[in-house]
Amino acid sequence: MSGLKRFVLWDYARATWQYDVMVALILAFIFLTPREIFRDQPKPSSIVRLPAEHGSNVFWVEPELLNSVDETQRGPKVEQELKSRFGKREPVIHVEPILGTEREVRGYMAYTRP
C-alpha cells in the first residue's frame, strides 16, 4: 500500500526507476489515447470551396456564420470571409439558403464570379 501511496502522491526522487516508469506511463497516456475517447475532433472549416461549373465558384457556408446577418448583408459578409480565409476578393453573385426537411436552414451556397 505504501508503494501505491507514493505513486499517487508523486513521492519518488528524480532519476529513480520508479520516477521513470511514472513519466513513461503519463507519456503513453498522452500519445496513445485515441481522440475518440475525449471526443476531440478537429472542427471543419465554416467555408468550403465546392466543385464549380461554367466558370463560377461555389462555396458551402455553415449556417452559424450567417444566421445573425440580415439577408441583404449576406453577400458582403461572405465576401469579407472569403477575403480573410482565401486571401483574394471574389464578388458574390448570389447567396442561397439550403433548407432541411423541417424548413430549418442547414447551410448556405454562395456563388461567386472569379
Q: What is the pLDDT of residues 12-35, one digit of tens each?
A: 889 899 899 999 999 999 999 887
pLDDT at 20: 92
Rounded Cα distance between 10 and 28, Å, is 17
Report residue 44's pLDDT band, with 50, 70 and 90 as the boundaries: low
Considering the domain architecture, whether residues 62 and 96 belong to the same structural domain is answered as: yes
**Minimum mean pLDDT among 1-5, 60-64, 73-77: which range?**
1-5
7 and 24 share one domain: yes
Q: What is the 3-state secondary structure (H, E, C) of 95-112?
A: EEEEECCCCCEEEEEEEE
Give the pTM: 0.57
Cα–Cα dist 101/105, whole Å: 9
Domain limits for position 68: 47-112
Which region among 37-41, 42-46, 59-63 has the lowest average model confidence (pLDDT)?
42-46
Q: 3-class SS at 37?
A: helix
Written as one string, the DSSP assignment of 4-24 is HHHHHTT-PPTTSHHHHHHHH
